Amino acid sequence: MSRGRTPVKDTYSTHDVARICCVTPTTVIRWIEDGLIPAFKTVGGHRRVRREDLERVCQERGIPFTVPTGDEVGRLLVIDDEPVVLDLVRDVLKDLSHQFDVEVARDAFDAGRLVATFRPQLIFLDLMMPGVDGFEVCARLKRDASTMHTEIIAITGYYTEANMERILAAGASACLKKPLDVTEVRRRVVEAFHLRDEPRIEPAPDPRENSKVLLVTQNADFRAKVKEELERATPPLEIKTAQTGADALLVAQAAPPRYVILSMTVPDLKSTDVIAKLAAGPGNPQIIAVHDAPTDEIRMAARAAGARMCLPTAAVAGSVRELLGV
pLDDT in tens, 96-121: 878 888 999 988 888 999 998 888 99
More confident of the two residues 70 and 311: 311
Helix (H, G, I), strand (E, B) or coil at 50: strand
* Whole-number pLDDT of residue 138: 94
* Whole-number pLDDT of residue 6: 41
Q: Is 15 in contact with 72 (CB distance < 8 Å)?
A: yes
Q: How confident is the model at residue 72 (pLDDT cuts 50, 70, 90)?
A: low
Strands 47-50 and 67-68, sheet pairing: unpaired
Q: Is residue 202 over pLDDT 70? A: no
The mean pLDDT value for 130-155 works out to 90
Helices (H), the chain: 14-21, 25-33, 51-61, 83-94, 108-117, 134-143, 161-170, 182-192, 220-230, 245-254, 271-279, 296-305, 313-316, 320-324
CA–CA distances in Å: residue 293 to residues 74, 76, 174, 214, 289: 31, 26, 31, 22, 12
- CA 261, CA 290: separation in Å to the nearest integer? 7
Residues carrying CATH 1.10.1660.10, the chain:
3-68
Helices (H) and strands (E) counted in the chain, each on its own, are 14, 17
Q: Is residue 197 over pLDDT 50? A: no
- CA 272, CA 173: separation in Å to the nearest integer? 40
Q: How confident is the model at residue 43 (pLDDT cuts 50, 70, 90)?
A: low
Q: Is residue 248 over pLDDT 70? A: yes
The mean pLDDT value for 158-171 works out to 91
The mean pLDDT value for 278-290 works out to 85
Share of the chain above pLDDT 70, in %: 89
* Whole-number pLDDT of residue 135: 94
Q: How confident is the model at residue 208 (pLDDT cuts 50, 70, 90)?
A: very low
Helix (H, G, I), strand (E, B) or coil at 241: strand
* Whole-number pLDDT of residue 68: 46
- CA 252, CA 216: separation in Å to the nearest integer? 11
* Whole-number pLDDT of residue 324: 77
Residues carrying CATH 3.40.50.2300, the chain:
73-192, 212-324
CB atoms within 10 A of CB 272: 18
Amino acid at 116: A
Is the domain 212-324 a CATH 3.40.50.2300 member? yes
The mean pLDDT value for 218-228 works out to 90
* Whole-number pLDDT of residue 174: 92
- Residues in CB range of 60: below 8 A, 6 or more apart: none
Is the domain 3-68 a CATH 1.10.1660.10 member? yes
Q: Is residue 204 over pLDDT 70? A: no
The mean pLDDT value for 288-297 works out to 88
* Whole-number pLDDT of residue 201: 46
Q: Is 261 in contact with 288 (CB distance < 8 Å)?
A: yes
Q: Is 248 in contact with 289 (CB distance < 8 Å)?
A: no
The mean pLDDT value for 275-287 works out to 85
Q: Is residue 249 over pLDDT 50? A: yes
Q: Is residue 209 over pLDDT 60? A: no
Q: How confident is the model at residue 151 (pLDDT cuts 50, 70, 90)?
A: very high
> Which class for 220: exposed (0-12), middle (13-18), buried (19 or more C-beta within 10 A)?
exposed
- φ, ψ of residue 6 to 5 degrees: the values are -60, 130
Q: Is residue 152 over pLDDT 90? A: yes
Q: How confident is the model at residue 40 (pLDDT cuts 50, 70, 90)?
A: confident
Helix (H, G, I), strand (E, B) or coil at 155: strand
- CA 289, CA 313: separation in Å to the nearest integer? 9
More confident of the two residues 139 and 3: 139
73-192: CATH topology: Rossmann fold (3.40.50)
Helices (H), 149-295: 161-170, 182-192, 220-230, 245-254, 271-279
Q: Put residue 119 in one of left, alpha, beta given phi > 0 → left and psi -120 to 50 → alpha.
A: left
- Residues in CB range of 69: below 8 A, 6 or more apart: 1, 2, 3, 4
